[in-house]
Copies of this chain bind each other. A is one copy, B any other.
Amino acid sequence: MSESSQTIAADRDDADVDALRARIRQAAEAVRERTPMAQSFTNFVTINLVANAQLAAGGAAAMSFLPDDVVDTASMSGADYINVGTLLPFYKDALPKIARAFRKTGHQWVLDPVAAGIGSTRTEILRAFRAAPPTIVRGNASEIIALATMWGLISPDDATRPAGVESVDEVEAAVEPAKALARFLAASAPEGEAAVAVSGEADLVTDGATVYRLPGGSPMMAKITGAGCSLGGVTAVYLAVTDPLTAALAATALYDRAGEAADKVSNGPGSFQVAFLDALWNTTPDQIAASEILTV
């Protein structure tokens, strides 16, 4: 690529990012004005933080585990969130049933494939989602790679073994799997749009075409349980008011800014979590929209 074509590409990127920033600001304002409700089917470890983070980010929360309850509530929910941690036996039937119900009505949802690749029940559930996929997937690098492999979107040779709920893979290793996954989700989406978010030292968001990197956050986010899970829940709140790419970028940027704010005033993981919830509440749409977003 010649020097001038590089400059043109960079200019186009800048224009794209500027347009994204405007959409992110609008979405953040819409969440604060409309208090959109996002329902969650999520794990027992961090379910309280998911709800509190959704409220602190400006949304409303509802949590359910029974298909009849979830489907009833979904009619009042702007988007749903499913997180496959701490599975119970009946989830094997309940979760695929719920995903099929969402697909039937075109209801949008966010998946957190926690610990993808571990346990036969989880694998069975995640495989079933391939036929009724979410609009956004958010996970760590290992989970994104495991899910993309499980769905046959990348060669098993590109995959690594699962490592529990902690990622053993660097975010960069998940770039191609994340793009493949986003393209697959978009092809299945009613409006043809989807996104994948990979959490790590520098978070990554992609719509399958462009890869966005969001630096920042705090290392303390890995020292409280549920930073990732609750980001999934907040992403669903944003998905209730905007498109998948904007939702994933806005929620991720909000988390990075709130993490930095909490880092400054805390003295350990206890006070960090308290300050983080306060920061989710106090971070403004302007601050979220001003976040660094790299396309290189």
Contact = CB atoms under 8 A, between A and B. Distances in A.
A31 interface: no
Contact of A270 (B48, B76, B85, B273): B273
Interface string A57-76: 00011111110110011001
Given A45-B47, A68-B121, A163-B76, A282 B268 contact: yes
A277 interface: yes
A278 to B, nearest CB: 3
A68 B269 contact: no
Contacts of A61: 45, 165, 225
A279 interface: yes
Interface residues of A, number: 61
Nearest to A282: B268
A88 interface: yes
- Lowest 9 A-B CB distances belong to which pairs? A268-B278, A270-B277, A69-B119, A268-B281, A51-B225, A270-B274, A270-B278, A68-B119, A68-B120
Interface of A: 37, 43-49, 51-52, 55-56, 60-66, 68-69, 72-73, 76-77, 85-90, 115, 118-122, 163-166, 223-226, 266-271, 273-282
10 contacts: A45-B51, A64-B87, A66-B87, A69-B118, A73-B164, A88-B88, A223-B281, A268-B281, A270-B278, A271-B278
